[in-house]
Amino acid sequence: MSRPIILVTPSTHAAGAEFPDHSISVSSRYLEAVLDAGGLPLALPQLTHRGRLAEYLERADGVLLTGGDDIHPKLYWPEVPQELVERCEFPEPDRDVMELTLLDELFRRPKPLLAICRGHQLVNVALGGSLYVDLPTQRPGDIPHAQMDRRFEPVHAVDIAPDSQAAAIYRAKTLGVNSTHHQAIHRLADPLKITLSAADGVIEGTELRAESSGLLPWFASVQFHPERLYAAHPEHARMFRAFVQACSPKP
């Protein structure tokens, strides 16, 4: 059986490593995680043309939204205070347009979707939810969520909602995760339900409510980075295997 083709969204940069031209980049860890799970990853170019994004989707079997820079808060909070905007780092050029257009097309031609970190937040915004622009100032808590120096190790636990897709995937009640974010879901979009949560209440994973399941044939989002953990912590490979299995052609 041929491997399912998984579109992987990249980060964008005004200047690249080879030449000072507009460039894209994607961590090889995302691609390796998809490959190891049985998929064939394909990194998208920077596109905002709806027709070309639709053409990619027609030929693909699933989509992986990756992490990266912040989503512009004016997309979900038009009156956001300037001091919070100044705490953000935005992609260049506008990655938000590409990924929101891609999601809109994906809802028109549904295929499985796995969303990681920024992607987890973006799906919530696309479906009408909002974000904390800066967790340390808007929602201070006991768990430091931006632990970049420990990004390859679990730093706190998340609780897994019983009777959820996540519970079936992880086969556990809790999961140790890494934490490298300063934003998080604030108002949860109506089509979503919480599947993973930190002890301080930060939403660490979502899936579709039963009444919204027609939006996509399979969906999961996580705030953490399983692609950085699965080699040393095999339980994190389960999400990628479940995703690729959902993307695989049915006999």
- Known catalytic residues are 117, 225, 227
Interior CA angle at 143 toward 137 and 148, to 5°? 85
Query: How many whole angstroms separate alpha carbon 56 and alpha carbon 59?
Result: 5
Buried b or exposed e, range 226-244, using 16+ CB within 10 angstroms: bbbbbeebebbbbbbbbbb
- One-letter amino acid at 226 equals P
Are the CB atoms for 15 and 93 separated by under 8 Å? no
Are the CB atoms for 238 and 33 separated by under 8 Å? no
- One-letter amino acid at 6 equals I
Are the CB atoms for 143 and 198 separated by under 8 Å? yes
